[in-house]
Chain A
């Protein structure tokens, strides 16, 4: 009963907040791309959240923003020294890093162990590379946005990418989510049923990689952790049922992003940080509700 009530309330509040946010942006003649960038980025990560928890990939998910951090730094170095597009370099390097971590887990390395090695490696290398970039090139602004994110400065390329990846994640989750959830719930029976586990895992690593790496500049790698993990944790507390919890986590992502954008524009604060803060508030509220 309670879960179906909170479900309806969530839909209601989300719709209201989306309308308010769009109305505010249009009313004050701000670019509407702001809304799409932040809401679709948040949706992309939030929709994967439940799959990440059920498939026990929290550690891979938590380390991929670090891979994004390193990849973004190397992307700057590569595009300056070799030439080519920063964004493409970042995606290519980042995906290689995520696949390496995924392959380690696939080969039976404990996910916690592989994540610790991976985080240690990509954070220290990332810091090294970004220090190099800061001291050698004039890329200060980019480096700051990789860390803390700036959806409002996004290039058209990144705006388009956010919209595509947001839609893609939602389609992905609703089309193969059931299989992935089942693999996470009973891997032996999934193997007996003939599911190709490696293929589903590989597709999920790809989606995690494409979102965290492609959106690193708009969301910032620090807040990617929050966007990726909190919606699923909130939905897991508030909902019974996979189908519900997936939709709920998407609603939570849209809600936090649109209210976050509204508040951050009107108070001139960092948008992805405000949305992250809202997620934390929602998390605390659900933890209290669940505790009762």
Chain B
């Protein structure tokens, strides 16, 4: 429950219901998760995975219920949630006329959180580069990046506020197989000191690093260790007939390791 920096990190959700007009995205979710560690959020399309992450970040207003982070009620309060949380959306969008470079993007994210003058210069900030971003893309515009490079940039950006909780919505989606493996390592490393929630449609890549799996389909279906959750009778509750696909991958995984 206590991270390397001595911070506590836990998320408590009580009776959370989120609706978009007449569509119910989440219904009566109750859960408590603690870090550090890696939690995979699984569920079929439209299960409410993104909505859950956005609710935790305070970015959506629930119809009912509340979200507490480290004991503070942060429901629909991104400003308060943002003190502990770094968040990367499923499909970050960049205006096609935007001229912002990767370097500026990272620096601005850091600087807008510090209102003190004079502001620290950008170059200094990025010189100690633990950011797993290739030097040669630092001066490219965001509009000049590929999907995978853009996702890496957004993940690096989410670290600029030194969050104890990271919410990554399908971070491995746009990445090639080699980057997926590279990123699985990075996510593993990040989850050593932080509580990291990752949504995905393919639990296998991160499975060996995963502490718990949260299975969702509007309602919370299961929350437990991979061996507790990745079982036929439980998966079929979320995926219906589609679970065989997931199960097939898991067998593959079992035979490999």
Interface residues of A (CB under 8 A from B): 50, 53-54, 56, 178-179, 181-182, 184-186, 188-195, 232-233, 235-236, 239-245
Contacts and interface: CB of A to CB of B under 8 A. Distances in A.
A77 B102 CA distance: 51
Contacts of A193: 79, 82, 109, 112-113, 161
Nearest to A54: B98
B92 A186 contact: yes
Given A178-B111, A178-B112, A179-B112, A188 B95 contact: no
For the complex of A and B, the 9 pairs showing the least CB-CB separation, nearest first, are A192-B82, A53-B97, A194-B79, A245-B99, A191-B78, A182-B108, A236-B97, A241-B101, A192-B78
Contacts of B140: 240
Majority secondary structure, A binding face: helix
A235 B89 CA distance: 28
B57 interface: yes
Interface residues on B, range: 20 to 34
Contacts of A50: 99
B87 A189 contact: yes
Interface of B: 57-59, 78-79, 81-82, 85-87, 89, 92, 94-95, 97-101, 104-105, 108-109, 111-113, 139-142, 154, 157-158, 161
Contacts of A189: 87, 109, 157-158
Contacts of A179: 112
Contacts, number: 97
A236 B109 contact: no
Contact of B161 (A182, A191, A192): A192
Nearest to A56: B95
Given A185-B98, A189-B157, A191-B79, A243 B109 contact: no
B97 A240 contact: no
A54 B97 contact: yes
Contacts of A186: 92, 105, 109, 154, 157
Contact of B141 (A53, A190, A232, A240): A240
A225 to B, nearest CB: 16
7 contacts: A54-B95, A182-B109, A185-B142, A192-B59, A235-B99, A240-B140, A241-B99
B97 A242 contact: no
Contact of B139 (A54, A240, A245): A240
Contact of A192 (B57, B94, B95, B111): B57
Contacts of B79: 191-194
Contacts of B113: 193-194
Contacts of B95: 53-54, 56, 184-185
A259 to B, nearest CB: 24
A245 B104 CA distance: 12
A178 to B, nearest CB: 6
B104 A243 contact: yes
Contacts of B105: 182, 185-186
Contacts of A195: 112
A241 B113 CA distance: 20
A241 B139 CA distance: 8
A166 to B, nearest CB: 22
Nearest to A184: B95
Nearest to B141: A240
A56 B94 CA distance: 10
A244 B157 contact: no
